[in-house]
Structure 1
Amino acid sequence: MSRNIVLALDVGGTFIKTCVLEDGLPLQGTDMEFPALADRDRDTILDHFRSIFEAQYNLYQHRRADAVTDCRYQIGMAFPGPFDYRQGICLIRGLGKFEAIYGLNLVQAFRERWPVNSVGETGPLPEMEIRFENDARLFALGVSAEFPRERFIALTLGTGLGSAFIDSSRIMESGPGIPPNGWLYDQPYLDGRADDWFSRRGILMLAREAGIGEPGMDVKELAGEAREGNAAARGVFAEFGARLGELLQPYVDGFRPDFIMLGGQISKSHDLFGPALLDRLQNPSSPALAVRTSAHVLAYTFRGIARMFDQA
């Protein structure tokens, strides 16, 4: 029986998380995690990716020895930006990660590194289609598998702000209420960009302004203090939620989503900032807007990688 196999990678600045997708679904027992080596030199980074592809491919061969003769193999990568996703060119610079591969066509670079055996054969790896996409978009595509006809905005709140606008399982890059490419991170907000304010560093900046930014404190600890009744900490999250609503208001008014889906580490504190977010987005002339959260961002991202190939 023919199977569609995707070697899926979620690439972060610290770790690369992977699994093998078989006919659109993660194959149990194929999850792996590798260090990103994002601060290394070009050859080290490229060879590391090659070794990950080989590890995934060999794992699938071992797990499905009865099926490897009739499979279509692909490689799908969720990669942080800035990145030319259509051409496969990394444009990250000044962020302390993957700078050594700036401007490089990764599809070509990967193909040049496929291993060759003693008789000059390279196996199936060079024949694989390779696709890249923004991690927030893939998270949103994964969510759309459960909400195939809905219109929604997906946000990932973590070290940075990721976003995607989805209509009937399609990524929307333009139209009413949609910023260019559907990306909110570079939209102006106050004295900077949205990414400066709606991220880990944004919350910690609010905490410092409130006089509770102790050295070593992270969002998790701040949330713990808020839940224990620290009024200043609770005020930080309320302010974060209100400001996020202020940022989103014109996009919600223009795009008119059925709901907003939140993912990422900061979304785990939705109980603290969600009420202020919803209060800011309330519109008496429109139906109440639902805000959902997901604790399964990675699973949705992998599912989105499979759907990326389905929509090609």
Structure 2
Amino acid sequence: MKPKVVIALDVGGTFIKSGLVVDGELLQASCKQYPALADQDADVIIEQFISIFEDQYQFYTVTLGIAADCTWCIGLAFPGPFDYQQGICYIQGLSKYEALYGENIREVLYTRFKTIQHKERAKHLLQADIRFENDAKLFALGVSRLFPNERYISLTIGTGLGSAFIDHASLLNEGPGVPKDGWLYDKPFLESSIDDALSRRGILRLAEQMGALEKGMDVKELAEHARNGNSMSCKVFEEFGTRLAEMLKSYVVEYQPTRIVIGGQISKSIDLFGPALQTGLADSSIVIFTSENVSEFTLIGISRLFDNSLGLR
């Protein structure tokens, strides 16, 4: 049986992280990071994608085997808004990938491969199945490698809040306790939305309101102050953990997860907000799992897009 080789891209606004997943196993030596050209025109962005695909193709053929003996797949974790099934980008007003607005990325990539199919790598990649999915959902799917039989809610907290609801290593987009498409970001919370209140800007606004924010300070510096014993900074993270628990309570009651998974940049401060989060969810006896290896799990999650049992496209 031919090995299934997935060229996986975690497409971010600052960096693109890529790796090869061969028959479900991430090849650590193939993992690379590229500066994103998210503010460039469409041709430049697409050309970079093609270059990364070719780079990974070359890595495989040089170090692991013959390209013709593989089933090639290409998967991209992409921020939204995005029509993941059709492969159409709808990002606008976010200062990243706006040049791709309205483009069918899958068709654009195939068209580009056709123009260079005189090259062996392009000829093989032209036959690849190309799929897309939300980056937060793919992180959650990747984590299911650790907890294949569990039911959990996954959150990626950074510039915004991404979410996914997982049951026995499958994504749920509907059902008891599951918001439409598993997305929490746009749900009302406090005086705004979950995305606005429980994210980087939510923490910084909270710090400002509590008098803990100094000029030029970001979440990293705020956390350093808290770890150095600054009581006001500590209270900011405690309040953030309390608010996060308050938001999750109704979903925990209805969905009945065994675990909450937290990734993203804000997860690096779990030591500061985690105790209040755990206290707020004490009635459910739920386990909190955090990971800073979001991209690694995301790349593994991308490979699962090609798992027929998952029913994703």
State the TM-score bracket (shorter-chain normalisation).
over 0.9
Shift in Å, 1:117: 5.3
Q: Helix, strand or coil: the match of 1:145?
A: coil
Q: Helix, strand or coil: the match of 2:68?
A: coil
Task: Give me the whole-angstrom Cα distance separating, in 1, the residues matched to 2:121 and 2:221.
Answer: 53
Q: Helix, strand or coil: the match of 1:267?
A: helix
Task: Give me the whole-angstrom Cα distance separating, in 1, the residues matched to 2:61 and 2:156.
Answer: 34
Task: Give me the whole-angstrom Cα distance separating, in 1, the residues matched to 2:37 and 2:263.
Answer: 25
After TM superposition, the structure 1 = structure 2 runs for residues 11-22 of structure 1, keeping only pairs within 5 Å, are 11-22=11-22
Residue 237 of structure 1 corresponds to 237
TM-score (norm 2): 0.94
Structure (1/2) with the larger helix percentage: 2
The 1:8/1:119 distance shift into structure 2, 3 A limit, reads closer
Residue 301 of structure 2 corresponds to 304
Task: Give me the whole-angstrom Cα distance separating, in 2, the residues matched to 1:159 and 1:79.
Answer: 15
Answering whether residue 211 of structure 2 is matched by residue 214 of structure 1, we say: no
Contact kept, 8 Å, 2:57 with 2:121, in 1: the verdict is no
The 1:272/1:131 distance shift into structure 2, 3 A limit, reads same
Per-residue displacement from partner, 1:48-89 (whole Å, max 9, x unpaired)? 11111111112211112x432310000011111111111111
Residue 289 of structure 1 corresponds to 286
Of 22-31 and 216-225, more deviation after overlay is shown by 22-31
Task: Give me the whole-angstrom Cα distance separating, in 2, the residues matched to 1:121 and 1:291.
Answer: 43
Over the matched positions of the two proteins, sequence identity in percent amounts to 53
Residue 166 of structure 2 corresponds to 166
Quick one: which amino acid aligns to residue 175 of structure 1?
G
The 1:123/1:169 distance shift into structure 2, 3 A limit, reads same
Answering whether residue 104 of structure 2 is matched by residue 90 of structure 1, we say: no
Contact kept, 8 Å, 1:8 with 1:18, in 2: the verdict is yes
Shift in Å, 1:191: 2.0
Residue 259 of structure 1 corresponds to 259
Per-residue displacement from partner, 1:241-273 (whole Å, max 9, x unpaired)? 111111111111110100101111111111111
Shift in Å, 1:119: 8.8
Per-residue displacement from partner, 1:36-58 (whole Å, max 9, x unpaired)? 11111111111111111111112
After TM superposition, the structure 1 = structure 2 runs for residues 46-57 of structure 1, keeping only pairs within 5 Å, are 46-57=46-57
TM-score (norm 1): 0.95
The 1:68/1:92 distance shift into structure 2, 3 A limit, reads same
Shift in Å, 1:141: 0.8
Runs (4+) of structure 1 exceeding 4 A deviation are 117-122
The 1:206/1:72 distance shift into structure 2, 3 A limit, reads same
Shift in Å, 1:148: 1.1
Q: Helix, strand or coil: the match of 1:237?
A: helix
Task: Give me the whole-angstrom Cα distance separating, in 2, the residues matched to 1:96 and 1:296.
Answer: 25
Residue 111 of structure 1 corresponds to 110
